[in-house]
Structure 1
Amino acid sequence: MTEQQLTIGSPHSQDYSYLAHGENGLPFQTAEHFTSPTGAAISLRHAVARGKPRAAIQINHGLAEHSARYIGFAKRLAAAGFHVYAHDHRGHGETTAPDAPRGMFSVRGGAAKVLADVAAVNTHIHRVHSDLPIVIFGHSMGGLITLSHILRHPETVDAAAIWNANFSAGAAGRLAQLILKAERMLLGSDVPSHILPKLTFRAWGRGIPNRRTDFDWLSRDPTEVDAYIADSHCGWDASVGMWLDVFDFVFYGARDGNFAKVRRDMPLHLVGGEKDPATDNGKAVAALVQRMQAMGFRNVTERIYPETRHESLNEINRDAITDDFIAWLNKIVEQSPRYPR
């Protein structure tokens, strides 16, 4: 695995020949850092498609985790002919920024900076693969970010997958915002929230019958749960400021008026778990599907997988779930005018 320094907009940013190497069997053949317009040093991983590339997939990970957790998913997608790009959001993993220690997106304007970083990664992928369709994927918080990106920049992707994301916060979400704003006044925005973890991660853990750990709400696979707990880049408490930014994403996606720019035939793939407490057992995912269909979206695929919890990609039936997704990808990318023929 190699490390490259790349600044978007620099003369070197037009030379991507180093991305062609790496047929070494590793799921992520390259790891690079480039400077986003926000000033963040973005850690970006790339899995090279095997055979003739069919499309490029841009992954947005969830809260309190990182892109390297998607290695297994990337390996499957690459084997099916898809380039895969996954970066660490600011405040997560190996991405660094002067204004974003772990657990914070930024001292101020965090949501906007996260989206600017996502747009920079998307621009990077377009430069490397100008001849391929681009599909953007997001899990959980990454799903919130993914939808926020396509609502603002629908022309930058051919399709989108929004998994395990909850845009149905409603009155409870507004109350959480008020609690967070009170915490910000009393404690500041750069300290972990004392209350939100109790209302989210910990409450979700307590809701799992016969739980073995507090993170059993993630998956029925104990090996995956243990790996998450052992990972120092996972499971930490987000700051007050980061939680407020997350709710900005939630409520932006909750407003129907923000969907005006998105073409109604864009392929959309929404996944939820029937036993996922973070999405009200998949009901929030179904509610988003219903909203989109009511707005005239006519190419929406919905999958609520029985018995599954929050992390579909780490569930005991993850292979079947990934098979379904690859079948959807193969179908929709062939409809794109940029599909290589």
Structure 2
Amino acid sequence: MSDDALSTDFHLPGHGGALVGRAWPHPDPQWVAVIAHGYGEHVGRYGWVAGRLHEAGAAVFAADHVGHGRSDGTRVLIRDYEDVVEDLHLVVRHAAGVHPDLPIILIGHSMGGLIAARYTQRHADALVATVLSGPVIGSWATVDDLLALEEIPSTPIDPETLSRDPAVGEAYAADPLVWHGDFARPTLEAMQTMMRTITAGGSVGNHPMLHLHGEADQLVPMPASVEGVETLRGPATSRITYPGARHEIFNETNRAEVLEDVVTFVQGVLDQRR
């Protein structure tokens, strides 16, 4: 199921041009998963995740954010994350249109966690639960440090920070759809603004939310992210952390454990709704 040949493309009119999405259909879905990917990457890197969610009964939908992957836009340029949240809403509405009677779970990784957190604050009524994986939330020293400089230096992401599995970093480095260049200052400014907006937005209340994080994440260190998630916390918020795991926990050496935790969380939420 993780094979790209088993997925289909869809296109949506995003705020910055066409959004190119990918759907992993299910013959008898019990729920819908919508994935928001991280900075500089694309949804094609989530075939394994989609496959595991598919095994658990999900139809899966995801789209490359503006300026990422196969979607339109200047590469990695995001001037306002509220616009990207609305793009994500298009994806959620598209998924809901295909499966109008199924519950939707939003899964956001890294920058996608930032987007998913804000989406949940604004559109929780469209979801039954949210999963945040290594989210850029609360504060991120990388953003603060780079914005303090007159000129932003070369800032490619070190593939070794992604996973203890060297094949993950090698594939990332060789992927032509991954952005291997520098941060754009407007993107950093918009990211900083959105982190502050989320903090000001406060708790998601009774909305079920799961925060997952690698304890050895050097790219988005866990302590600041934990502080950010605490501003969102409600009675149904929970957290699982993984000793030794780096940033991309869905691609880590214990990836099966991580996805099992996601599935267990989702099944618990769905069981409570029955």
TM-score, length-normalised on structure 2? 0.90
**Where does residue 223 of structure 1 map in the other structure?**
167
Say which of 17, 40, 44 aligns to 1:40: 17
Say which of 215, 239, 255 aligns to 1:274: 215
Letter in 2 for 1:48: P
**Where does residue 30 of structure 2 map in the other structure?**
54
Considering only aligned residues, what root-mean-square deviation do their CA atoms show, in Å? 2.4
Letter in 1 for 2:220: T
Correspondences of 1:138-149 after superposition (within 5 Å): 138-149=108-119
Contact 1:67–1:87 (CA under 8 A) maintained in structure 2: yes
How far off is 1:121 after superposition?
1.1
Letter in 2 for 1:300: T
Distance in 1 of aligned mates of 2:103 and 2:210: 16
Distance in 2 of aligned mates of 1:27 and 1:251: 40
- Unaligned runs of 5+ residues in structure 1 are 1-22, 184-192, 202-213
How far off is 1:48 after superposition?
1.4
Distance in 2 of aligned mates of 1:259 and 1:310: 25
**Where does residue 209 of structure 1 map in the other structure?**
none
Say which of 181, 184, 188 aligns to 1:236: 181
Aligned length: 273
Distance in 2 of aligned mates of 1:238 and 1:27: 32
- Unaligned runs of 5+ residues in structure 2 are none
Correspondences of 1:114-193 after superposition (within 5 Å): 114-169=84-139, 174=144, 176-179=146-149, 182-183=150-151, 193=152
Distance in 2 of aligned mates of 1:326 and 1:27: 24
Say which of 47, 51, 69 aligns to 1:75: 51
Contact 2:12–2:90 (CA under 8 A) maintained in structure 1: no
**Secondary structure of 1:254's match?**
helix
**Secondary structure of 1:278's match?**
coil
Letter in 1 for 2:53: L
> Which 4+ residue blocks in structure 1 deviate beyond 3 angstroms?
23-28, 170-179, 288-293
How far off is 1:324 after superposition?
1.3
Residue 89 (1) aligns with residue 65 (2)? yes
User: Deviation per CA, 1:10-55, whole angstroms, max 9, x where unpaired?
Assistant: xxxxxxxxxxxxx99757421122223x2521111011125x3121
Contact 2:118–2:198 (CA under 8 A) maintained in structure 1: yes
**Where does residue 194 of structure 2 map in the other structure?**
249
User: Deviation per CA, 1:265-315, whole angstroms, max 9, x where unpaired?
Assistant: 2110101111001332x223432444444xxx1111201101000000110
Q: Kindly tell me: are residues 274 and 241 of structure 1, through their superposed partners in 2, closer, same or farther at Cα, counting changes over 3 Å?
A: same
Contact 2:147–2:189 (CA under 8 A) maintained in structure 1: yes
Q: Kindly tell me: are residues 276 and 33 of structure 1, through their superposed partners in 2, closer, same or farther at Cα, counting changes over 3 Å?
A: same
Residue 284 (1) aligns with residue 239 (2)? no
Contact 1:267–1:300 (CA under 8 A) maintained in structure 2: yes
User: Deviation per CA, 1:153-201, whole angstroms, max 9, x where unpaired?
Assistant: 221211101110132327885564454xx55xxxxxxxxx426x28xx4
User: Deviation per CA, 1:209-250, whole angstroms, max 9, x where unpaired?
Assistant: xxxxx4211110001110000012223323222222222222
Distance in 1 of aligned mates of 2:270 and 2:83: 29
